[in-house]
A and B are shown apart, each in its own frame.
Chain A
Amino acid sequence: MIRRVEEEVMNLVLERDLIASNVKTLNMKLMDYLDEFEDVSEIILDMNTVDNIDSVGVTFIINLYKSVTREGKSFKVTHCSDDIKQLFKLMKLEDFFELDE
């Protein structure tokens, strides 16, 4: 996961599939980034390279969303494939955060 901060927006760009075997590492990286959330007003999770996601991956996004919104920041997910959008729709995740192109 790469982070890019431009003005008050932090982009978290995923580099691998969002599946159980990768989530532990992502959570560790996220711990490092949490302190930097203070300096931004929005966090965007970029899913451009994500083809596959499993239930642990979904909970990673939910946990990230909750961590971000708890700090009063806004959160959205970008560049989801149609398949992943379909999955998010099943879980009604679009009721909680924005899915952007």
Chain B
Amino acid sequence: MTYKVIVADDVRMNRTLMMDVLNKKVDHLEFLEAANGVEVIDLLKDNEVDLIILDLIMPVMDGYKVLKYLKNDEHFSDIPIIVNSAIHEIGSIEETLKAGASDYFTKPLSFDDMEIILPLKVRNSIQMYEQQKIIRRYNEMTVNEIEHATLFQEVMLPKSKNLHDVDLFIKFEPSIGIGGDFFDCVEIDGITWFMIADVTGHGIAASMASSMVKILFRTSLQHKDMTPGSVLTHINNNIFEFMDYSGMITNNYTTFTGFVGCIKKDILSFSNAGQPYPVLYRNDVEKIVLIEESGPLVGAFEDIAYEEHSMTIHKDDVLLLYTDGIFCNGKSGDFINWHLVHEYMQKNAHLMNGDEEQYLENMYWFFHMLINREEDSRFEDDVALMLIKKK
């Protein structure tokens, strides 16, 4: 592989001298010559250039203008530029370095500068630029992968919609585009099934686990006589059957809190695996009720039988499930402030009658404020809110 170096100087002898020295001292260089700034820019249009050695005083377009132009162009701004100029004034040196030049040499170069320092700086600049390009390439690959995974997750998760027996409202905000929050709601044979889960950690690994949770949830519903407790038990058993953590000290890739419920006529049955207590809004009394039942995390312990509970649910009652990230955010320690969450839920309860999307929006920003404290900061953890309104 060769590295292309533009040597820009209006004096041909200077260019030749520079190229001769660098040819002897640095391997794999290919030179392009420019006698003014316009020629530099023309060369850049047709070549992938790795370094520019730039004279400042040149006709047509001088080195200052070239430097300014290149540093303001996103295609060329990272190319290292070593200035080689007869101008000795500190003001000029300061100006060019501030403008983004990597280094500055004054002509005529001393023997040591020419034979030792300049070749070393040329080689170092090219190496740094090469590393920079590798990092940028990896970064682009990562961003592309996250974009694809985000689309995948988007189609995997349900959106707000009207089902036969319930209306479903969703608000989902993953921390880096994808995340480990999972929620689902589906009607099967007159029963509305739903689940919300928060996979340990966040990011790509958590989103992969949440995909698995969706498959396990939906396939478990295909079995006969399933209940919310047996669904969680089924998922938990399957995780230990499918995953092989032999030789690993940690198995937190498929550990999650989860809440599974179903509504059949006017009975709400549910089972909780460490999920923050959901809230039921009783429309007749306009009050919220905490569903304070819980159980162990899914994927943490083998052979767990999850308990289940039931209560009545009536027309226009609303169930709110959420993965708040509150106790997942180590900086806040806000899991002690659940009472604030519940107070806020009650305060906004009037929105449950026709303005459910606004309710979710308000709750979302309330969580945001609790976790991040500042309005313009992003959640560090995924946040999902699911609101199910009985018809």
Contact = CB atoms under 8 A, between A and B. Distances in A.
Given A59-B252, A67-B249, A90-B274, A19 B330 contact: yes
- Counting chain A residues whose Cβ lies within 8 A of the other chain, the interface size class is 35 or more
Interface residues of B, number: 27
B296 A95 contact: yes
B200 A55 contact: yes
B250 to A, nearest CB: 5
Nearest to A22: B330
A83 B326 CA distance: 12
Contacts of A95: 296
B250 A27 contact: yes
Contact of B249 (A20, A27, A54, A90): A27
A54 B330 contact: yes
B301 A54 contact: no
Contact of A63 (B250, B274, B276): B250
Interface string B320-337: 000000011111110110
Interface in A73-98: 82-83, 86-87, 89-93, 95-96
Contacts of A30: 249
Nearest to A93: B296
Q: Which of B201, B250, B274, B277 has the most CB of A within 10 A?
A: B250
Interface in A1-47: 17-21, 23, 27, 30-31, 34
Interface in B104-139: none
B192 interface: no
A59 B330 contact: no
B335 A87 contact: yes
Contact of A92 (B249, B255, B294): B294
B300 A59 contact: yes
Contact of A20 (B201, B251, B257): B201
Contact of B327 (A23, A27, A51, A54): A54
B257 A91 contact: yes
A60 B296 CA distance: 15
Contact of A90 (B255, B276, B329): B276
A20 B203 CA distance: 12
Given A62-B255, A90-B276, A92-B294, A57 B330 contact: yes
A23 B251 CA distance: 12
Contacts of A31: 249
Contact of A51 (B200, B201, B250, B333): B333
Given A58-B297, A59-B255, A62-B297, A53 B330 contact: yes
Contacts of A55: 198, 200-201, 255, 257, 327-328
Contact of A59 (B198, B250, B277, B332): B250
Nearest to A17: B330
A91 B330 contact: no
A56 B252 contact: yes
B295 interface: yes
A31 B248 CA distance: 10
Contact of A91 (B252, B277, B296, B329): B296
A52 interface: yes
A64 to B, nearest CB: 9
Interface of A: 17-21, 23, 27, 30-31, 34, 51-60, 62-63, 66-67, 82-83, 86-87, 89-93, 95-96
Given A20-B330, A60-B250, A87-B335, 12 more contacts: A18-B330, A20-B201, A21-B330, A52-B331, A55-B200, A59-B250, A63-B250, A87-B327, A90-B294, A92-B274, A92-B294, A96-B296
